[in-house]
Structure 1
Amino acid sequence: MGAGFLSASAQTLSPEQAHEDLLFLKHKLDILHPGLGYYTPKARVEQIFDSLYNHINAPVDYLGFFHHVSPLISTLKDGHTNLNHRKNFIDKSTRFVPFYIREADGKYYISHNMSADTSLRRGTELVTLNGRTLGDLHRLLMDVDRSGSDGDNLTGRKQWSLIQFADYYASWFGSTDSIAVQYRLPTDTLLRQTKLACPTAATFRSVFQKRYRNEIDRRPNLSVRMVDTLTRTAVLRVSTFMGPKKYDPLQIAFKKKLKQAFQQIQDQKVENLILDVQNNGGGVVLNSARLLQYWMPKPFRIMEHEQMKVAARRELVNRWNPLSAIQFSLLYKKDGYGGFSERATRRQYRPRKHMAFKGNLYFLMNGGSFSATTSVLSKTLDAGMGTYVGEACGGAYWGDFAGHFKTVTLPNSRLQVRIPLKKLTHAVNPGKANGFNVEPDFTVGRTYEDVLSGRDYMLNYTLNLIRDGIVVRKPLTTRPLQALR
């Protein structure tokens, strides 16, 4: 067993190698994944595995095996469980579809063109790529990769597979030197076709920076800008819950920037605060709790339960570090069900007394709002606060599978699969949910005019709500007498 590393020049697996990889992956999922059977019954997962295993009876090339494994991962319907290529499959020589693509009214348009043919300007409708319609390609890519989308939710899958269309396309089809395109120019019904060279990632970025330098979003995370002085409205952009420093275990830098942001909000006497969490894929849960402290009306917990399977202990305890076993015992205890639970789950966070925001909260969210971002949205909704604009977030109201991760490498193909180790259950009342995900109070979609103008259509919609005095959930006033700074 263990048939060796699959080199770039020898990309074929024997049936025995493929079977070994599938069995290895299935074993790791069985012993580590805390949500196996949660969204898809275990019997169905077993059925899919058996079918995949039994249908390999001949040698299979690397990319074909990647496609073959994909259904086993996607059937789990867990946005934190990811199938990834072996190291260096995507490298500096990989070539990508030369567009950023956006959907509006069921059609697909170029928003940014990095090809050598500059006649394909913004608003050009893309009809087919290499003979397949854009709609067909989009459905394929969103079905084979459920990253950032839990359960049967579609918004996360739609969002990421389109925003990162070039990456998804290269991952599924491999590098391609050129593509055949059928398209219609703006204000023209004539169906045209051409063949375009595909750029490397370096060329893609270089062309984008030259052609669209005025459109590059340079706003730092946790940046505040006043957008309407008449209604005292500001936007706080929260693009990630990861701290700005690589080595900052206590996340002090994030905490400091957050405090500066709310000091600015207080100084500018903001009455309506728009939290822009579009495409915020999450980060450190501690930082999501710190954000919530600025508006939650009373002490709160983020999680009700944090649980993991017994085998996860081996991934967190390093035999070469005796302190890791002690640390594990301090943090976790046996849960009585054959696994472990977090001791500090019931930790409470106290609301901020100074710089607490007491005005109206509006959230701009989309399918890319996931993980720790969903925690913020769920807790705020559970507290009866906020007006939600856009589309359903990618994560589930109840919680997710995340916390700690183990990336396993299959022995022959070297495919990599990231497996979450913890089940995180939000401390929320299920009866206060407005859907499986946090759903918007006002659903807002992109129009063709939005594609042409590049305007922030969700922000414009929200500003009109504020000017019309529309607030779905007004701020709560009950606050503790004392709170931590």
Structure 2
Amino acid sequence: MKKIILFFFTVLLFVHCTSIKRHNAQLNNLISAEKLKSDVDFTYRKLQELHPKLYWYSSEKDLDYKFDSIKTTITEPMTSFKFFKKLSPVVAAVRQGHVVVYPPTKKMRKKETKALLEKGIGPLSQFDFELFNEKLYVIKNNSHDKSIKIGTEVVTVNGTKPIDLIKEYSHFYSSDGFNTTLKTSTSGKRFSSFFTTANGLKDSLHYNFKYNDSLKTITIRRTKEDTTGNQAKKIEKKLLFKDKAKLKALRKKKRVNGYYSVEKNYNRNLNFLEKDSSVAVLKIRSFKIGDYKSFYRESFAKIAAYNSKALILDLRNNGGGRVTEIADLYSYLTYSTFVFLDKSEVVSKSSLFKGAYFYGGSVGVKALKTIFSPIIYSYILFTVNKKQDGKKYFKTQTKPRTMNKNAFKGKVYVLINGGSFSASSIISSNLKGSKRALFVGEETGGAFNGTVAGFMPRVKLPHSNIQIRMGVMYMAPHFKTTTDGRGIFPDMQIIPTIEDRIKENDPEINWILTDLRSGI
């Protein structure tokens, strides 16, 4: 039996390695014009089959024209990457941020991945970047070269001007609707992925930096993590392991708050400002990892114990996550019984079934899904219903819910920016619509009137191997606005500058504290 199992896994490993080799070999192959045109038709057909609000921001006539027009420009064979650059702007014309085109990239075997990790951190990952006035700046330096100050401008990377690459790639993706803040807020952070997509992984890069009108060229190489102070950390860890209570508390915090091992920070944090802890700050980086129910239960109990008068909910650069989490968080902020979402529109019962249930997973997982598919399909059959408008809807978070017994009664501020997207925008829409909070920052990258997300399958194009991710459920907050296609606007607009980053100044928080102290 052991020999059979060993043989089975050997075969799987061989097939996997062969698949990787074949995939990488095809990256530079030229694909015929006819096959690429077929992939264009396939893309549009899948969008029509799965996306319930395809013509929300672009009319059917406009999208028909764009998809027909791109086929006329395909007159000769090209690589899948060149085709990606052609197809992406057309898909982005849907103006839905969850619709993303992924180019085929080189895959690595486990040994190659392990070897790369052992070599250390890449030359792009050693910095955090942000864009201000079309210039890319270093806002965090984790490299060994400490001469690179916060606020240093990145003039070129291997001869490439950052703004040129950022502008090119800005055509390949979209926000929800017509706002521009998502791109202005996140394009600097995305520069590293843009550069890697265009140039592949690099072990060294030549940076041209500018600081206080002084130019210098520095080569940054892939390097292992800075081990300075590791001895002190080892001693601290030994002491921690001896103290079982502290170790247990640390493990619990990582589990509840959600811990990002690469960034070495927590997904959720609760802090208090002012000497009397009268201002609580909830920083939520995403609505994804961690035990959110325990976190919010413990956090709001602590806020009540500290008798805080104001709460700042920081959703800046929060790209979204679980709807169940934001509904739970909202129950601690509302004044009364509430309905969180309207019924979610879907194209059809089969779109929810095929596009969500059968997406992803290993061969074994897909086999199990097939076995249970009659039960799941029966569930979808009874929960997806046609309304009088002729459209089909799926119920999720639509039942009236009561406010949590420990709901916060004081003043609520919400910090938002262009990086506040998806679930961040949905909870913000309900807080704004119910007049429960004052918003500070800039317009969100997600739309006020909802987004198409929920289950998000990736569809693989048959000839180019490009993948396209799309949502299959239109999820609408209970509150709406007449200004369609735009995000949640702040009551007080404050846009940070590079000087704020250099001085580690948070102008949005500062404004809120001033507002509270003035008694307004």
Whole-angstrom CA distance in 2 between matches of 1:300 and 1:39: 29
Q: 1:375 corresponds to which letter in structure 2?
A: I
Contact 2:57–2:485 (8 Å) recurs in 1: no
User: Tell me, what secondary structure is at the counterpart of 1:299?
Assistant: coil
Q: CA deviation at 1:106?
A: 5.1
- Is 2:468 the partner of 1:417? yes
- Is 2:453 the partner of 1:402? yes
Whole-angstrom CA distance in 2 between matches of 1:88 and 1:403: 29
Whole-angstrom CA distance in 2 between matches of 1:15 and 1:399: 38
TM-score by length of 1: 0.83
- Is 2:476 the partner of 1:428? no
Comparing 326-335 and 268-277, the one that deviates more: 326-335
- Is 2:61 the partner of 1:61? no
Whole-angstrom CA distance in 1 between matches of 2:480 and 2:82: 44
**Match of residue 349 from structure 1:** 401
Whole-angstrom CA distance in 2 between matches of 1:345 and 1:259: 19
Report which structure shows greater RCO (CA 8 Å, sep ≥6): 1
**Match of residue 515 from structure 2:** 465
Q: Deviations over 1:164-210 (max 9, x none)?
A: 3201222244445655544322x3x24x35363564xxx48x35999
User: Tell me, what secondary structure is at the counterpart of 1:303?
Assistant: coil
- Is 2:488 the partner of 1:438? yes
Residue 88 (structure 2) aligned to one of 70, 76, 87: 70
Uncovered stretches (5+) of structure 2, i.e. residues with no partner: 1-18, 234-261, 358-368
- Is 2:280 the partner of 1:280? no
Contact 2:314–2:414 (8 Å) recurs in 1: yes
Change (3 A) 1:468 1:78: same
Residue 32 (structure 1) aligned to one of 50, 60, 65: 50
User: Tell me, what secondary structure is at the counterpart of 2:402?
Assistant: coil
Whole-angstrom CA distance in 2 between matches of 1:210 and 1:54: 61
Whole-angstrom CA distance in 2 between matches of 1:106 and 1:66: 25
Q: 1:351 corresponds to which letter in structure 2?
A: M
User: Tell me, what secondary structure is at the counterpart of 2:342?
Assistant: strand
Contact 2:179–2:485 (8 Å) recurs in 1: no
Change (3 A) 1:144 1:414: same
Q: Deviations over 1:145-170 (max 9, x none)?
A: 22xx2112111122222123201222
Whole-angstrom CA distance in 2 between matches of 1:39 and 1:57: 30
User: Tell me, what secondary structure is at the counterpart of 2:56?
Assistant: coil
**Match of residue 480 from structure 1:** none
Q: Give the number of aligned pairs.
A: 446
Change (3 A) 1:102 1:267: same
User: Tell me, what secondary structure is at the counterpart of 1:397?
Assistant: coil
- Is 2:61 the partner of 1:43? yes
Whole-angstrom CA distance in 2 between matches of 1:106 and 1:461: 26
Change (3 A) 1:257 1:392: same
**Match of residue 184 from structure 1:** 210
Q: CA deviation at 1:237?
A: 1.6
Whole-angstrom CA distance in 1 between matches of 2:323 and 2:166: 31
**Match of residue 176 from structure 2:** 150
**Match of residue 361 from structure 2:** none
Whole-angstrom CA distance in 2 between matches of 1:68 and 1:119: 41
Change (3 A) 1:443 1:435: farther
Residue 386 (structure 1) aligned to one of 412, 429, 437: 437
Comparing 174-183 and 100-109, the one that deviates more: 174-183
Contact 1:224–1:264 (8 Å) recurs in 2: no
Contact 2:341–2:478 (8 Å) recurs in 1: yes
Q: 2:61 corresponds to which letter in structure 1?
A: A
Change (3 A) 1:73 1:175: farther
4+ runs of 1 displaced by more than 6 Å? 208-211
Residue 312 (structure 1) aligned to one of 341, 351, 362: 351
Whole-angstrom CA distance in 2 between matches of 1:198 and 1:46: 47
Whole-angstrom CA distance in 2 between matches of 1:263 and 1:48: 54
User: Tell me, what secondary structure is at the counterpart of 1:7?
Assistant: helix
Q: CA deviation at 1:407?
A: 1.1
- Is 2:499 the partner of 1:449? yes
Change (3 A) 1:40 1:130: farther
Whole-angstrom CA distance in 1 between matches of 2:263 and 2:504: 12
Q: CA deviation at 1:102?
A: 2.0
User: Tell me, what secondary structure is at the counterpart of 1:126?
Assistant: strand
Q: 1:7 corresponds to which letter in structure 2?
A: H
Change (3 A) 1:128 1:233: same
Whole-angstrom CA distance in 1 between matches of 2:275 and 2:382: 50
Q: CA deviation at 1:84?
A: 1.5
Q: 2:190 corresponds to which letter in structure 1?
A: Q
User: Tell me, what secondary structure is at the counterpart of 1:304?
Assistant: coil
Residue 280 (structure 2) aligned to one of 210, 223, 234: 234
Q: Deviations over 1:322-355 (max 9, x none)?
A: 1112211232213356652124564111112x32
**Match of residue 477 from structure 1:** none
Change (3 A) 1:174 1:50: farther
Q: CA deviation at 1:424?
A: 1.6
Comparing 172-181 and 420-429, the one that deviates more: 172-181
User: Tell me, what secondary structure is at the counterpart of 1:405?
Assistant: coil
- Is 2:269 the partner of 1:269? no
Q: CA deviation at 1:64?
A: 1.0
Q: 1:324 corresponds to which letter in structure 2?
A: I
- In proportion to residue count, which structure has more helix? 2
Whole-angstrom CA distance in 2 between matches of 1:242 and 1:169: 27
Whole-angstrom CA distance in 1 between matches of 2:65 and 2:206: 38
Comparing 103-112 and 9-18, the one that deviates more: 103-112
Residue 148 (structure 2) aligned to one of 108, 114, 120: 120
Percent of paired sites with the same residue: 26
Change (3 A) 1:133 1:406: same
Contact 1:309–1:338 (8 Å) recurs in 2: no
Whole-angstrom CA distance in 2 between matches of 1:226 and 1:218: 21
Residue 33 (structure 2) aligned to one of 2, 10, 15: 15
**Match of residue 190 from structure 2:** 164
**Match of residue 374 from structure 1:** 425
Whole-angstrom CA distance in 1 between matches of 2:73 and 2:40: 12
TM-score by length of 2: 0.77
Contact 1:180–1:193 (8 Å) recurs in 2: no
Q: 2:151 corresponds to which letter in structure 1?
A: G
Whole-angstrom CA distance in 2 between matches of 1:19 and 1:207: 49
Uncovered stretches (5+) of structure 1, i.e. residues with no partner: 245-252, 471-485
Q: CA deviation at 1:297?
A: 1.6
Whole-angstrom CA distance in 1 between matches of 2:312 and 2:227: 29
Whole-angstrom CA distance in 1 between matches of 2:23 and 2:154: 36
Contact 2:182–2:444 (8 Å) recurs in 1: yes
Contact 1:104–1:446 (8 Å) recurs in 2: no
Comparing 74-83 and 86-95, the one that deviates more: 86-95
Q: 2:75 corresponds to which letter in structure 1?
A: N
Whole-angstrom CA distance in 1 between matches of 2:60 and 2:44: 12
Question: 1:68-107 maps to which residues of 2 (within 5 A)?
Answer: 68-86=86-104, 88-89=106-107, 92=113, 97=124, 99-104=127-132, 107=135
Whole-angstrom CA distance in 1 between matches of 2:153 and 2:189: 16
User: Tell me, what secondary structure is at the counterpart of 1:24?
Assistant: helix
Q: CA deviation at 1:257?
A: 1.7
Change (3 A) 1:121 1:222: closer
Whole-angstrom CA distance in 2 between matches of 1:378 and 1:454: 30
